[in-house]
Structure 1
Amino acid sequence: MTSLPPQSSPGPSPQPTPPSSLSRIRIGSAPDSWGVWFPDDPQQVPWQRFLDEVSASGYEWIELGPYGYLPTDPAVLKEETERRGLTVSAGTVFTGLHRGPEVWESTWAHVSDIAALTQAMGAEHLVVIPAFWRDDKTGAVLEDSTLTPAQWRQLTTQTERLAHEVRERYGLSIVVHPHADTHIDSEENVTRFLDATDSSLVSLCLDTGHYAYCGGDSVKLIETYGERIGYLHLKQVDPLVLAEVRANEVPFGPAVARGVMCEPPSGVPALEPVLAAAQRLGVDLFAIVEQDMYPCPPDKPLPIAQRTRAFLRSCGA
């Protein structure tokens, strides 16, 4: 009688493939994700609480936020961040450079203080946000939403001047942030700006939420203008709220109060393809989470930040 060969025992069940490591992406967060829009506002959490909670959420990198919210004395700020395991990735400035040389002195006075603190904290980037044509808090119209050709020339030439001065004096690279309710917003205006500025001086801070808010495709922008992507802000929009905002021409500030910027991964754009496209650029990039929330209850940001950090880890970041 021929014996049957022993049956091989079944091997272990196949395990899901882990997400590929986003080894070139450095994840952080910002005061914006804690509802902080202004240096001092009674609706915002104290800066000590922001630092405690951003650290507790598992982030290691932060931005300075509005100048004057965090301590402006570098020695104090270094002590406060280092004991929480935090490092500054960038400072942020607001500019109205399309208005021409006459605003240069006031712009530089604003920029230089922030650039000095950014440099002192060991960061290498300065996020530059163009002036709002509509007030970000009240929604009041401040100027025309469309620039003239002359204003476009001033915007591009003065931005290059700013980039040169910031690099020469402070060793920082500027990254210009397309933003809703500014003149650098849609795909058309972003590409026009990039095509008109020197790539050796001016890079982009691609904010995925603002770009989607204004109808842009972040993955397409990364794949088309990859050499100009110097920094990322990770954000999503709620498509249902956005449709209502667009239909009713709601200004950005009130739109945020309605919840147009939502917790990942419930909105658009999907962040996994954005991060994968950024990784394929083969350069080190900061990807700073910014969920616009103003105003918001003080206990709301921390659990969102913790869930968002866990979600980004599941993406490999």
Structure 2
Amino acid sequence: MTLRLGINPLTWTNDDMPELGAETPLETWLAEAREAGFEGIELGNKFPRTAAELSPILARHGLALVSGWYGARLLERDVEAELNAAEPHIALLSAMGCGVMVHAEVSRAIHGQRGTPLSRRPVLWEADWAVLIPRLAAFARRLKARGLHLAYHHHMGTVIETEAEIDRLMAETPPEVGLLLDTGHLSFAGGDPARVAQRHAGRIVHVHCKDIRAAVLERSRQRDLPFLAAVLEGVFTVPGDGCVDFSAVLRPLAARGYVGWLVVEAEQDPANAHPLTYARMGHDALSRFARAAFG
């Protein structure tokens, strides 16, 4: 597999706030994603969830399915129960030829709670780490046997959010647990995406390329906003439109021989950020950064 550019449907709508872009049909998302130059797209809330339905739709637009988010609850249920819950999702990704599954632990998560400030996000106690790590490792091994690499998505408002938590997760899990590096979420959490890319390049199996508007981030932190409120304020944008140094992020990945997807993911209110305009901006900027880093 070579380096490929994809996009997440959050440009057009939002799974946690489905009223955003609710009037825009799936066919528009797909046509505009392709028009902007992307080769693939991740799952969103209007996608059919069987390969028989989804495959011909994507084929009409010349798009591949990149992957799709799965919110796990391994702190609350054992590996067998989690695998049973995930089976329809795993089956879809496998049938569509995906290489990774986007995976986040959402037990106790607050990112979808519109009235809960981020300062109240959950943290893992030592007893929680002792439960999560072996279950996550076992889940990842079982997933790998199905041809999918687990791509752990650190995320604001969840139990794995900070740079230190990412470091511990990588230190205590086997290689089957891959890392999804999300430049926007890590920057929001106060981390350094370039430093994490340098430190964990060998474990990174998927990349979400999200930029940050620094002034909005500062206001969001000062006001201790809920995650979705910060999104509506415009904290995220596409690569090249904010303060993330994507050249510094991509260089260590290129040096380590990263292959796979670079995905533009920038949740915004489509009423304020015209989706096709921002999709094009993100594609063109990320293409420039990728060419400079990967050659």
Unaligned 5+ runs, structure 1: 1-22
User: Which amino acid in 1 is paired with 2:149?
Assistant: S
Which of the residues 178, 189, 193 maps onto 2:165? 189
C-alpha distance in 2, partners of 1:153/1:245? Answer: 33
Q: How many equivalent pairs are there?
A: 288
Q: Closer, same or farther in 2 for the Cα pair 1:40/1:213, shift >3 Å? A: closer
How far 1:229 moved relative to its partner?
0.9
TM-score, normalization by structure 1? 0.84
2:48 is equivalent to residue 71 of structure 1: yes
Once the two structures are superposed, residues 45-81 of structure 1 have per-residue CA deviations (whole angstroms, 9 ceiling, x without a partner) of 3222111111111101111235xx2112312211111
Which of the residues 153, 158, 163 maps onto 1:177? 153
Once the two structures are superposed, residues 18-50 of structure 1 have per-residue CA deviations (whole angstroms, 9 ceiling, x without a partner) of xxxxx9532110112222325965743322211
TM-score, normalization by structure 2? 0.90
2:205 is equivalent to residue 230 of structure 1: yes
Contact 1:137 1:254 (8 Å CA) reproduced: no
Secondary structure of 1:99's match? Answer: coil
Once the two structures are superposed, residues 107-166 of structure 1 have per-residue CA deviations (whole angstroms, 9 ceiling, x without a partner) of 334311111001111111100022153142414379862221111121211111211222
Query: Which runs of structure 2 are paired with 1:1-317 in the superposition (5 Å)?
Result: 25-37=3-15, 41=19, 43-44=21-22, 45-66=24-45, 69-101=46-78, 105=81, 107-131=82-106, 133-140=109-116, 145-168=122-145, 170-199=146-175, 201-293=176-268, 295-297=269-271, 300-317=274-291
Unaligned 5+ runs, structure 2: none
How far 1:298 moved relative to its partner?
8.9
How far 1:262 moved relative to its partner?
1.9
| Bigger helix share | 2
Q: Closer, same or farther in 2 for the Cα pair 1:221/1:197, shift >3 Å? A: same
C-alpha distance in 1, partners of 2:8/2:17? Answer: 13
Q: Closer, same or farther in 2 for the Cα pair 1:90/1:263, shift >3 Å? A: closer
Contact 1:57 1:309 (8 Å CA) reproduced: yes
C-alpha distance in 2, partners of 1:163/1:279? Answer: 25
Contact 1:125 1:172 (8 Å CA) reproduced: yes
C-alpha distance in 1, partners of 2:168/2:64? Answer: 34
C-alpha distance in 1, partners of 2:227/2:132? Answer: 22
Q: Closer, same or farther in 2 for the Cα pair 1:298/1:268, shift >3 Å? A: closer
Secondary structure of 2:75's match? Answer: helix
User: Which amino acid in 2 is paired with 1:35?
Assistant: T
Q: Closer, same or farther in 2 for the Cα pair 1:74/1:38, shift >3 Å? A: farther
